[in-house]
Amino acid sequence: MKILQTAAEAVPLVKTGGLADVVGALPDALARAGVTSRLLLPGFPAVRAALVAPRMVASLPCPWGGVAPTLVAGRLKPMGEAPAYVVVAPDLYERPGGPYSDPTGAAWADNHRRFAPLAWAARALARGTDTAWKPDVVHAHDWHAGLVPAALAHAGQPAASVMTIHNLAYQGLFPAQSFLDLDLPQAAWNVDGVEFWGQVSFMKAGLHHAQAVSTVSPSYALEILDPAMGCGLDGVLRAHRGGVAGILNGVDYGVWHPSIDSHLPHRFDVRDLRGKAACKAALQQAHHLRLDPRAMLMAVVSRLTSQKGLDLLLQVLPQVLQHGAQLVVLGQGDAALEAGFASAAQAYPGQAVLLRAHDEALAHRVFAAADVVLVPSRFEPCGLTQLYAMAYGALPLVHHVGGLADTVTDSTLESLEDDQATGFAFHRFEAGAFEAALRRAHLLWTRPEQWARVQHRAMQQRFDWDLAARHYVALYELALNRLGALATLA
């Protein structure tokens, strides 16, 4: 079985969030399961720079005129020896700003043009354009690849498709006239196609046409079937003949483990935590926090957006810091949130700091230094932050939703007694509930023996990609079976 992984980003080349971690780790896990997998990525500058021995495969459509994108095969140097595919289109991808937005943070108005070529490239490969390799299944990740299942369906279904939702809140919505740029037949423009309330929806296109649909945790798979969490697509999801599979993301412990992490000033593991104390001291010193091993160091490593629930943290921060805790926030995003944490850093010098950056190496050091990592998300499809935190001996404090609920066991009297606790959780998305959880965390921090038991339990958790890969293989087989059944009926 041959799988084409189609996505907008993958570590270590392009990353804005957890999607990149998943796409970067899944192919290797599939290989260990005996499944051949290749990546298809847009030709962002870092991807082009990593491309070794490029080989022209096909010229792709360009309905709006101009220079046609091309599909190129080669190897991506930091990602091993497996061949990969890149859509080369300098006018679309080689721009200032981020992968999806301009330098001001505004989404590029032509993002439908920038990501539609992924679908055309997948369609070409499924039709056998590259005589050296033809996929059986195309795995489309999030809205950027959402057009892939639609393109395959309207091309006679030359391969099966699987659509994975990494975050349903981001749907790839564009004006109706954008449909003219998508190289799809007119029949695709209807309520059972890419049309969504008079707009083009890449996410809906993927969900409607894919043979199988998944998301990145079991709880989120159930939550998005409800109108409150379905972002307007709950009806499409409930109507899908195969339902929604919830496959929990894994962690690449070859990258995220404190005993081998080259980004850390001191390494450590569950048997010897002296290196963690040294990492904490190093971070406090480097970023002008009070050098105090007894201060509970809280951390946020996140995009600063409303989804992440960080407005709750700003509401309760004065009460939390009065107990002597410290806070480091690593991230950037919403201007109001950035301003709020910057003000807190000014108001509490030596106790709070905002590191306004997207810095992967620094993120590793923050996890290693932190005692508690805060993830108070309004909703969370899976979340990798809490998984990384546990690996580094930082106890996650989470809102009990989605993948956070699936992975963190709250420190209750019962779970502490049974030695099952791995962090802290609050159930109502309210400042009072969040503050109460923070208070519980601080009380446990003042009991070092109990804290150490929970910390050890957290560090012993394993969320391996090999298990997730086996679930994905089963999903690919299911998609192929459904496609075969459709062919038989036809």
Per-residue pLDDT 10s for the chain (490 aa) are: 999 999 999 999 999 988 999 999 999 999 999 999 999 999 999 999 999 999 999 999 999 998 999 999 999 998 888 899 999 999 999 999 999 999 988 999 999 999 999 999 999 999 999 999 999 999 999 999 999 999 999 999 999 999 999 999 999 999 999 999 999 999 999 998 999 999 999 999 999 999 999 999 999 999 999 999 999 999 999 999 889 999 999 999 999 999 999 999 999 999 999 999 999 999 999 999 999 999 999 999 999 999 999 999 999 999 999 889 999 999 999 999 999 999 999 999 999 999 998 899 999 999 999 999 999 999 999 999 999 999 999 999 999 999 999 999 999 999 999 999 999 999 999 999 999 999 999 999 999 999 999 999 999 999 999 999 999 999 999 999 999 876 665 5
Structure tokens at 121: 């490239």
- Residue for token pair 């019962």: 414
Nearest residue to 379 via CA among 244, 245, 250, 224: 224
Q: For position 412, what pLDDT does the model report?
A: 96
pLDDT given at position 445: 97
Quick one: pLDDT at residue 81?
Answer: 84
Task: Classify residue 46 by burial, with Cβ atoms within 10 Å: 0-12, 13-18, 19+.
Answer: middle
Whole-angstrom Cα distance, residue 366 to residue 388?
11
pLDDT of residue 167: 96
Check: pTM over 0.95? Answer yes or no. no
Confidence (pLDDT) at 488 = 63
- What stretch of H or E contains 209? helix 202-209
Cα 140 from Cα 40, distance rounded (Å): 10
pLDDT, residue 489, reads 55
Domains in the chain, please, with CATH? 2-250+465-489 (3.40.50.2000), 274-459 (3.40.50.2000)
For residue 66, the model assigns a pLDDT of: 86
